[in-house]
Structure 1
Amino acid sequence: MSSKNQNDSSSEGKSGGRVRPKKHLGQHFLHDEHIARKIGDTLQFQGYSNVLEVGPGMGVLTKYLIEKEVDVVAMELDSESVTYLEAEYQHSNLQVLEADFLKTDLREIFGDEPFAITGNFPYNISTQIVFKMLEYRDQIPEFSGMFQKEVAQRICEKEGSKTYGILSVLTQAFYEAEYLFTVSPGVFNPPPKVDSGVLRLLRKKDYSLPVSDAFFFKVVKTAFQQRRKTLRNSLKSFNLSPKIKEDAIFGKRPEQLSVAQFIALTQKLADDAISTHD
């Protein structure tokens, strides 16, 4: 994310401190209180008492999270923002951590306890945030936040769309995904060049797959690496037997398959591999 105004943009808090948004960190500070409150209200706070906010910046969302009866961990990579947050928001249910979300073992923070994740996510790492969240899906019943609009839409997209892909399938295998609302560039400092979108993911009551999770991930990623080809061609590396190639599903392209069909496809491939080696 970038902006021509980045070099002369800064924000000031009650204490007089100033935090300058940094382009290399993808920082765009939300300054619309109404939208911040709406994002804070996207979580249902049921079945858990911990919330991890990724990239709090100057705390416009943080202030609404700490109003809830939950413990908030605000994880921020920018040391200037950390100093600001510690000065501005001194609350007993808030812990400010200077850390890189993508490099942090979240179990060192929460142990085995469940927690939600939310935030106004830096666009340059937003898809990586979702993939990491999926690694901790056993502990994360709920996830919400703001992405670049097209990324948020892609996560929530259904089969049959050109934007439906790896992120859509892997997320929706475990979570119910809902696109909530669109946010215009003008409510950020500096304003990004694109619209933003807020979504919510609610973990399914039964989110265990009837197949190997790792194998499912591999099948989905391999299929979409050559999304224009039929599955018969894109999944050649799985050494398909002549018999399984006759199945009608292999005549489809990956974007035509629902999440349930991808799970069924994974089962077919697993069974085929077993029978081939028998």
Structure 2
Amino acid sequence: MRPAWPPPTPKRRPSPRATEATPWTAPLLEHAQRVTAIERDPALAAALAGRMERAERLDVRIGDALAFDFIELAGTGRLRLVGNLPYNISTPLLFHLIDQRGALADMHFMLQREVVERLAAAPGSKVYGRLSVMAQAYCQTAALFRVAPGAFRPPPAVDSAVVRVTPRAQPLIEPALQARFAAIVAAAFQARRKTLRNTLRAQLDGEAIAAAGLDPGARPEQLAATDFAALARRAGP
């Protein structure tokens, strides 16, 4: 599914290195000194460079973005990642990219609008959940603008939106506690309407939750990423 036309692109200083997770490449070549496009389909990858102007600045890689090693591609630099992501793999791909955030300067993606809303949601929102917490613990997220179905051929049955995701210089949780943090967040949102005392009984008792400065009767959807970090610090080994 491709946009029928690219939105207007503001004139900016050329970016040294842009990487596109799903090739929509011509506008990027106007603004980046080099573009690496990742395409899973070998036939599309072979055709891509042949039809592009400025193809000498285009590096097409055949591969699955879900398994792609962005750290190796970045080398000693950092990538600016751009993509009109396949909506059916957007959440697992975002988790993969969060794991490789050290290689990324920033990310700009077109996604299903509901996914963008989840990425940028605040605690207490109906769409706030595991993806919100995990993304915001490691990145700053901002919903930029919506894209109507009429911008696509054929028009999809859902609205789309563009999000900016920028890795934090310092994550909200220490490296040694990141696995525990992820486990606590996952357990909490398995039953988002239950209390912390009930959802986290395998990780923390009510006393430990209170020692983290939180109400054991609170619900997971009410907690910010910093609150989950506090719980991870109080949980046992």
Same-fold call, TM cutoff 0.5: yes
Cα gap change, 1:260 to 1:107, in 2 (>3 Å) = closer
Deviations 1:200-255 (A, max 9, x none): 012223236246111111111111111111111111122x3463255543211110
Alignment of 1:34 with 2:11, yes or no, is no
Report the TM-score when normalising by structure 2. Answer: 0.89
**Whole-angstrom distance in 1 between the partners of 2:188 and 2:172:** 21
Indicate the RMSD between aligned Cα atoms, in angstroms: 2.3
**Aligned residues: percent identity?**
34
Equivalent residue number for residue 220 of structure 2: 254
Residues 49 and 55, structure 2, Cα contact 8 Å, conserved in 1:
no
Counterpart mapping for 1:1-278 below 5 A = 28-34=1-7, 37=9, 45=15, 49-56=16-23, 59=24, 62-89=25-52, 90-207=54-171, 209-210=173-174, 212-238=177-203, 240-241=204-205, 243-244=207-208, 248-269=214-235, 273=236
* Structure 2: distance between partners of 1:241 and 1:204: 31
CA distance change for structure 1 residues 263 and 242 in 2, over 3 Å: closer, same or farther?
closer
> How far does residue 31 in structure 1 lie from its aligned partner after superposition?
1.7
**Larger Cα Rg: Structure 1 or Structure 2?**
1
2:227 maps to a residue whose letter is: Q
Give the CA deviation at 1:157.
Answer: 0.4
> 1:173: Cα distance to partner?
0.9
Aligned AA for 2:59? Q
8 Å contact from structure 2 (residues 19, 82) kept in 1: yes
Q: Distance in 1 between matches of 2:215 and 2:85?
A: 37
The AA in structure 2 aligned to 1:87 is: G
SS of the equivalent of 1:236 reads coil
Q: Using the alignment, how far apart are the partners of 2:46 and 2:190 within structure 1?
A: 43
Distance 1:242 1:201, change over 3 A: closer
CA–CA distance in structure 2, aligned partners of residues 242 and 188 of structure 1 = 50
Q: 1:230 to 1:64 in 2, by over 3 A?
A: same
Q: Could you tell me how far 1:163 is from its partner in structure 2?
A: 0.7
Q: Indicate the larger mover: 85-94 or 163-172.
A: 85-94
Three-state SS of the structure 2 residue aligned to 1:177 is: strand
Are residues 126 and 44 of structure 1, via their aligned partners in 2, closer, same or farther at CA, if it must alter by over 3 Å?
farther
Question: Given the superposition, is the C-alpha separation of residues 29 and 245 from structure 1 closer, same or farther in structure 2, using an over 3 Å criterion?
Answer: closer
Q: What CA distance in whole angstroms lies between the structure 1 residues aligned with 2:104 and 2:76? A: 10
Task: Give, in angstroms, the shift of residue 65 of structure 1.
Answer: 1.3
**SS of residue matched to 1:224:** helix
Give SS of 2:123's match: coil
- Could you tell me which runs of 5 or more consecutive residues in structure 2 were left unpaired when the two chains were aligned: none
TM-score (norm 1): 0.77
Point out where structure 1 has 5 or more consecutive residues left out of the alignment.
Answer: 1-27
Number of residue pairs aligned between Structure 1 and Structure 2: 233
Separation in 1, partners of 2:129, 2:82: 23
CA 1:44/1:206 → structure 2, altered by over 3 Å: closer, same or farther?
farther
